[in-house]
Structure 1
Amino acid sequence: MYRCARRLTVASVSLLLMGGCAGTPAGLQPHALKDEAGHKGYLSQDALAALAAHIPAPPASGSTADQADKAASQALRRFENTDRWLLATSHAEVRSPFALQHFDCVLGVRYDPAQHQAPATARVFDKLFEDAEAASTLVKRRAFRARPVGDETDREACQTVSTAGRNSPSYPSGSATVGAAYGAAMAAIAPDKAAEVHEIGRQIALSRAICGMHYPTDVRVGAALGQAVFDQAARSPEFRADLTAAQAELASLRARGQTNPGCAAERRALTMTRDLGL
Structure 2
Amino acid sequence: MIRARLLAGMVCVAVAAASCAVNDSFPAPTHIAAPVQAEPYLDAEALVSLASGVPPPVVAGSPEAAADQRGSLRWIALEDSDRWRLAQTHAEVRPHLAVQHFDCPLNTRLAEDAPPALVRLLDRSLRDASVASNAAKAVGFRPRPVADDPARRACIRVDDTLRSSASHPSGHATVGALWGRIMAEVAPDEAGALIRIGDEIGVSRVACGLHYPSDVAAGQALGIALFQAVRETPDYQADLAAARAEVAQARTLGRVNPGCAAERAAIGQIPS
Identity of aligned pairs, percent?
45
Say if 2:81 is the partner of 1:86.
no
How far residue 112 of structure 1 moved from its aligned partner, in angstroms, is 2.4
> Over residues 196-252 of structure 1, what are the superposed CA-to-partner deviations in whole Å (9 max), with x where a residue is unaligned?
000001111100000000000000110110111111000000000000001001110
Is the Cα–Cα contact under 8 Å of residues 121 and 240 in structure 2 kept in the other structure?
yes
Q: Which residue of 2 aligns with 1:106?
A: 105
Q: Which residue of 2 aligns with 1:165?
A: 162
Provide the C-alpha distance between the structure 2 equivalents of 1:71 and 1:136, rounded to a whole number of angstroms: 24
Q: Which amino acid is 2:151 matched to?
A: D
Provide the C-alpha distance between the structure 2 equivalents of 1:202 and 1:260, rounded to a whole number of angstroms: 20
Length, aligned pairs only: 241
Q: Which amino acid is 1:162 matched to?
A: D
Is the Cα–Cα contact under 8 Å of residues 38 and 120 in structure 2 kept in the other structure?
no
Q: Which residue of 2 aligns with 1:27?
A: 22
What root-mean-square deviation, in Å, do the aligned CA atoms of Structure 1 and Structure 2 show? Answer: 1.6
Say if 2:235 is the partner of 1:238.
yes
Provide the C-alpha distance between the structure 1 equivalents of 2:143 and 2:268, rounded to a whole number of angstroms: 30
How far residue 64 of structure 1 moved from its aligned partner, in angstroms, is 0.8
Over 4 Å off, 4+ runs: none
Q: Which residue of 1 aligns with 2:261?
A: 264
Q: What TM-score do you get using the length of structure 1 for normalisation?
A: 0.84
Say if 2:119 is the partner of 1:125.
no
Is the Cα–Cα contact under 8 Å of residues 123 and 242 in structure 1 kept in the other structure?
yes
Provide the C-alpha distance between the structure 1 equivalents of 2:21 and 2:168, rounded to a whole number of angstroms: 15
Is the Cα–Cα contact under 8 Å of residues 28 and 166 in structure 1 kept in the other structure?
no
> Over residues 28-73 of structure 1, what are the superposed CA-to-partner deviations in whole Å (9 max), with x where a residue is unaligned?
66xxxxxxxx971100000000001111111011111011101110
Q: Which amino acid is 1:193 matched to?
A: E
Q: Which residue of 1 aligns with 2:137?
A: 140
Map residues 172-191 of structure 1 onto 2, 5 A cutoff.
Answer: 172-191=169-188
Provide the C-alpha distance between the structure 1 equivalents of 2:38 and 2:118, rounded to a whole number of angstroms: 19
Q: 1:143 to 1:149 in 2, by over 3 A?
A: same
Q: Which residue of 2 aligns with 1:19?
A: none
Q: 1:137 to 1:26 in 2, by over 3 A?
A: closer
Provide the C-alpha distance between the structure 2 equivalents of 1:248 and 1:194, rounded to a whole number of angstroms: 16
Q: Which residue of 2 aligns with 1:253?
A: 250
Say if 2:64 is the partner of 1:65.
yes
Provide the C-alpha distance between the structure 1 equivalents of 2:246 and 2:162, rounded to a whole number of angstroms: 36
How far residue 26 of structure 1 moved from its aligned partner, in angstroms, is 3.8
